[in-house]
Amino acid sequence: MGDSARFEEDDENLMPETASDCLFCKIGAGEIPADVVHASDRVVAFRDVNPKAPTHILIIPKDHIASAEAITDKDGDILAEMFQAAVHLARSEGVDRSGWRLVTNVGPDAGQSVPHLHLHLLGGRGLGWPPG
């Protein structure tokens, strides 16, 4: 999913200019509409607008974390909640038995177009390896 957020180097972590400019922060706060399929106090999941599989859901923390590279020890609970949401959504989407994939990208060369930590839940078709 592309957006207009710009990456800047800040202490070797990719960050948007400010969290208030972050597309996913705005979706998490309900300021930008999305096809939300799961929401809690700390996690939001919504359908990707440019799906790469029949099931393609993005799972984000509401609080801004730039990428997996920016995760700290204090983020363990939110990561666990994101993975639990993925399991719940895989079941509710009916891909739990056939198989599904979780992907996160770090930086533009890996395909991270939105500088906010997000998991891609992909399923509903055979997924090749290696990805890309």
Other C-beta atoms lying within 10 Å of the C-beta of residue 59: 24
> Which strand (E) or helix (H) includes residue 129?
none
> Rounded to whole angstroms, how far apart are CA atoms 96 and 124?
9
Whether 118 is catalytic is: yes
**What's at 72, amino acid-wise?**
T
Helices (H), the chain: 23-28, 76-93
Q: Regarding beta strands 100-103 and 119-123, do their DSSP bridges make them parallel or antiparallel, or are they unpaired?
A: antiparallel
Q: Determine which one of 56, 64, 116, 118 is catalytic.
A: 118
Q: Which residues are catalytic?
A: 118
